[in-house]
């Protein structure tokens, strides 16, 4: 998933003040650009406090884009997502009552009053950006826009779950001691930034994680090609894996290549170690989500990837709940590894494993 954070702040860094009225920060030109950017995503996320304070509708405002989505068989508005630790949300909020969109609520509690107007994903304890992203990916969300508030933005940044940050500053607006929520972002050296002025708003767009899609797709296609070398088996998936080390060495493997208990990632890692390759900082591309639970081996592929210090994992299909309930992607993210999922290749992986679904 590609994740964009977007927010507007005053000259002294506040998103809001402590009055009962919504603090108007952006100019019309800035809002128009935000609406354009919003339409490029599959879902938009804000925290429950933003819903309570601002009561936003979070709709697509470009009628042409709405008609394009309808023509493509999609709902006219992108999916709406929120999170609440308390489980206290008013069903009459515009988040729930306006537009035609899928609605998801992440909460630590069941919220019966929302069951008929939103999908409540309960039992999230704690609620993290990594768990939200993993769940949304499984729901078909590929591009997410996060618009606040401060705690939510900081959560995504602190967990490393942000690819782009769009930060709009109103240089003529000072909140001072009336400030309620302050957002502070200090870009590190080397983060590229694009700057523009939109109706007086100073907008900076930071690239936090470069887009790796081209290379990921290339090596995932190689991994899928490896998976076709597997002998179909009713008790395991046909999976292929490709490792690219930090110095450019490449190693490949597929399920059961040398042992009836070995998975594809395990085979590729064994080849790399036998060749004396350093795996710290390497990338691994697997046609399917790395397993997180094994009965026939002492370590799962997820544990192997973490132990050897891989920094990047890409895969094309979340492991179906056929043999075990896999949580490989989330475990890898929780270990600080950059994980990317490419559903555009999912049908090819399913075709290789058609013997399990016939």
The pLDDT of residue 62 is above 90: no
The pLDDT of residue 358 is above 70: no
> Measured over all CA atoms, what is the biggest interatomic distance in the chain, rounded to whole angstroms?
68
Residue 329: both structure tokens together: 């992607």
Task: Output the DSSP codes for 255-272.
Answer: TTSS-TT--HHHHHHHHH
How much is the pLDDT for 323? 60
How many Cβ atoms sit within 10 Å of the Cβ of residue 42?
Answer: 18
Ranking 118-122, 123-127, 128-132, 260-264 by mean pLDDT, the lowest is 123-127
Length of the chain: 358
How much is the pLDDT for 268? 98
Segment 117-145 mean pLDDT: 93
User: Phi/psi at 108 (nearest 5 deg)?
Assistant: -85, -5
Contacts of residue 69, defined as CB under 8 A and 6 or more positions apart, other chains included, come to 60, 75, 76, 77, 78
The pLDDT of residue 21 is above 70: yes
DSSP strand E in 257-341: where?
283-286, 312-315, 338-341
How much is the pLDDT for 322? 64
Helix (H, G, I), strand (E, B) or coil at 91: coil
How much is the pLDDT for 324? 63
How many Cβ atoms sit within 10 Å of the Cβ of residue 276?
Answer: 7
User: Phi/psi at 310 (nearest 5 deg)?
Assistant: -65, 150
Segment 284-288 mean pLDDT: 98
How much is the pLDDT for 316? 98
- CA separation, residue 95 to residues 56, 57, 78, 243 (Å): 6, 5, 12, 43
Task: Output the DSSP codes for 120-178.
Answer: EE---SS--HHHHHHHHHHTT--EEEE---HHHHHHHHHTT--SEEEEEEETT---GGG
How much is the pLDDT for 294? 82
8 Å CB contact between 47 and 80: no
> What's the order of all strands across the beta sheet hosting 283-286?
250-254, 240-244, 283-286, 312-315, 338-341
Q: Pairing state of beta strands 2-10 and 143-146?
A: parallel
How much is the pLDDT for 120? 96
pLDDT above 90 as % of the chain: 79
Mean pLDDT of the chain: 93
The pLDDT of residue 340 is above 90: yes
pLDDT tens for residues 195-237? 999 999 999 999 999 999 999 999 999 999 999 999 998 888 9
Segment 239-249 mean pLDDT: 98
8 Å CB contact between 349 and 241: no
How much is the pLDDT for 313? 98
pLDDT tier for residue 16 given thresholds of 50, 70 and 90: confident
How much is the pLDDT for 245? 98
Segment 24-32 mean pLDDT: 93
Distance from C-alpha of 314 to C-alpha of 216, rounded to nearest angstrom: 6
Alpha helix ranges (H) inside 228-327: 264-274, 301-307
Residue 303: both structure tokens together: 């544990």
- Tell which residue, 33, 242, 229, 227, has the closest CA to residue 145: 33
Is pTM beyond 0.85? Reply is: yes
């Amino acid at each position: 998933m590609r994740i964009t954070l977007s927010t507007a702040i005053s000259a002294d860094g506040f998103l809001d003040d402590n009055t009962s009225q919504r603090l108007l920060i952006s100019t019309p030109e800035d809002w128009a650009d935000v609406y354009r950017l919003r339409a490029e995503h599959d879902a938009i996320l804000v925290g429950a406090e933003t819903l309570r304070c601002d009561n936003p509708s979070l709709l697509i405002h470009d009628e042409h884009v709405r008609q394009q989505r309808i023509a493509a068989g999609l709902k006219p508005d992108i999916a709406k997502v929120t999170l609440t630790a308390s489980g206290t949300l008013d069903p009459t909020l515009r988040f729930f009552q306006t537009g035609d969109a899928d609605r998801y609520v992440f909460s630590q509690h069941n919220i019966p009053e929302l069951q008929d107007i939103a999908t409540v994903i309960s039992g999230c304890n704690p609620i993290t950006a990594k768990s939200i992203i993993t769940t949304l990916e499984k729901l078909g969300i590929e591009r997410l826009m996060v618009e606040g508030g401060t705690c939510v933005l900081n959560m995504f940044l602190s967990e490393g779950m942000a690819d782009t940050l769009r930060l709009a500053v109103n240089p003529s607006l000072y909140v001072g001691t009336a400030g309620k929520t302050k957002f502070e972002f200090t870009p590190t050296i080397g983060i590229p930034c694009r700057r523009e002025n939109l109706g007086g708003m100073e907008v900076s767009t930071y690239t936090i994680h470069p887009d790796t899609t081209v290379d990921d797709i290339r090596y995932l296609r190689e991994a899928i090609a490896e998976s076709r070398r597997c002998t179909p088996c009713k008790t395991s998936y046909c999976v292929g894996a490709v490792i690219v080390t930090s110095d450019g060495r490449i190693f490949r493997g597929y399920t059961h290549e040398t042992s009836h208990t070995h998975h594809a990632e395990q085979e590729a890692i064994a080849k790399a170690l036998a060749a004396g390759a350093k795996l710290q900082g390497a990338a691994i591309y697997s046609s399917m989500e790395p397993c997180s639970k094994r009965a026939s081996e002492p370590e799962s592929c997820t544990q192997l990837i973490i132990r050897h210090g891989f920094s990047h994992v890409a895969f094309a299909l979340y492991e179906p709940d056929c043999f075990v309930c896999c949580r490989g992607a989330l475990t890898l993210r929780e270990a600080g590894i950059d994980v990317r999922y490419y559903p555009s290749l999912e049908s090819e992986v399913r075709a290789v494993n058609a013997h399990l679904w016939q």
